[in-house]
Amino acid sequence: MKVIDIHHPYRKNQIPSDDVVLALGFFDGVHRGHQEVIRIAREEANKKGLKLALMTFNHHPSVVFQKVDVSQIKYLTTVEQKAKLMAKLGVDYLYVVEFTSSFASLSPQDFVDQYIVGLNAKIAVAGFDYTYGKADVANMQTLPNYAKGRFEVVTVSEKKEADLKISSTNVRQMMADGQMEDVNHFLGYPYEIDGIVVHGDKRGRLLGYPTANIKPTFQSLIPKVGVYAVKIKVANQWYNGMAQIGHNITFEKDRPMTIEVNILDFNQDIYGEHVAVQWNHFLRPEMKFSGMDGLIKQLQMDEEHTRTYFN
């Protein structure tokens, strides 16, 4: 798969000359609803003997439209994670468009002319709720009018599970509730964040449960505060572990939130390592203990539950 970064206005020589089926969307999370859009687009490409292209954005449109502080937006997937998932789904060209004010100011017709026809699309595929401007005039129902016969339009219907729409919004709510099994079921893969192992206060060593203190390397959405059964990848090898997202309230109040992972059956110094953490199962909320003995006893129970979960 070729990744092509686009800044508006783009140069024509940036665009491969192949005719394509073009899948459209922001695709945060690349969940099973998104995967259905890509699957149908791939099928159309196979039937017509075309390449499959996909267009997404480098950040959420709310940065421009709603003037949201870019540092406050949390994502389910980084652009790099999206690229890996989309490559597995058979995408040939991934266009990553910088969502700027100049790009956002395009009229619906200009968007269609430059970013669907201009990318050599013979078929445009998107979810039923995809928009490319104001929703009442720039939606999937109006897209054939802007197409003017230059490409076909394929609309993918809503995908549900137990009467609940598979959407990024619902995935986010499940994460806020600590329902990681449901999150991972809607995503179709384990939720994952990347980070760097940094120095912490090393209290875990005193408790007999040394932890890797993870500083996320991206604005990833973090699950709710609590203790989890996780998998962590260190030097391309996966290990089981138990993680706490929290403020270490047993020791003092008003501490900043940290992500700490005790890696089971592991005894190495890994400061500075780039790691990935997969969030599998919520064990319990963060708790305050009256002393270290109570905390150690709870950590022993957490370890037992974590081992039972993975076994």
What is the pLDDT, as a whole number, of residue 172?
97
- Do 150 and 94 lie in one domain? The reply is yes
Q: In the chain, how many domains are there?
A: 2
pTM above 0.85, yes or no: yes
What is the pLDDT, as a whole number, of residue 204?
60
Domain CATH number, residue 286: 2.40.30.30
In a domain, 14, yes or no: yes
In a domain, 179, yes or no: no
Q: Render the burial of 19-38: b for 16+ CB within 10 Å, e for the rest.
A: bbbbbbbbbbbbbbbbbbbb
pLDDT tens-digit profile of 129-173? 999 999 999 999 999 999 999 999 999 999 999 899 999 999 999
- Who has greater pLDDT, 117 or 251? 117
- Do 8 and 53 lie in one domain? The reply is yes
Contacts of 297 (CB under 8 A, 6+ apart): none
- Do 107 and 203 lie in one domain? The reply is no
Q: Which residue has the tokens 């604005």?
A: 219
Could you list the residue range(s) of the whole structural domain that residue 232 is in? 191-310
What is the pLDDT, as a whole number, of residue 249?
67
- Do 52 and 121 lie in one domain? The reply is yes
In a domain, 12, yes or no: yes
Q: Which residue has the tokens 């109040």?
A: 253
pLDDT above 70 for 58: yes
**DSSP per residue over 9-30, as a string?**
SPPGGGS-SS-EEEEES--TT-
pLDDT above 70 for 202: no
pLDDT tens-digit profile of 215-274? 998 899 999 999 999 999 999 999 999 999 998 766 667 778 999 999 999 999 999 999
The rounded mean pLDDT for the chain is 94
Which H/E stretch holds residue 5?
strand 2-6
What is the pLDDT, as a whole number, of residue 265?
96
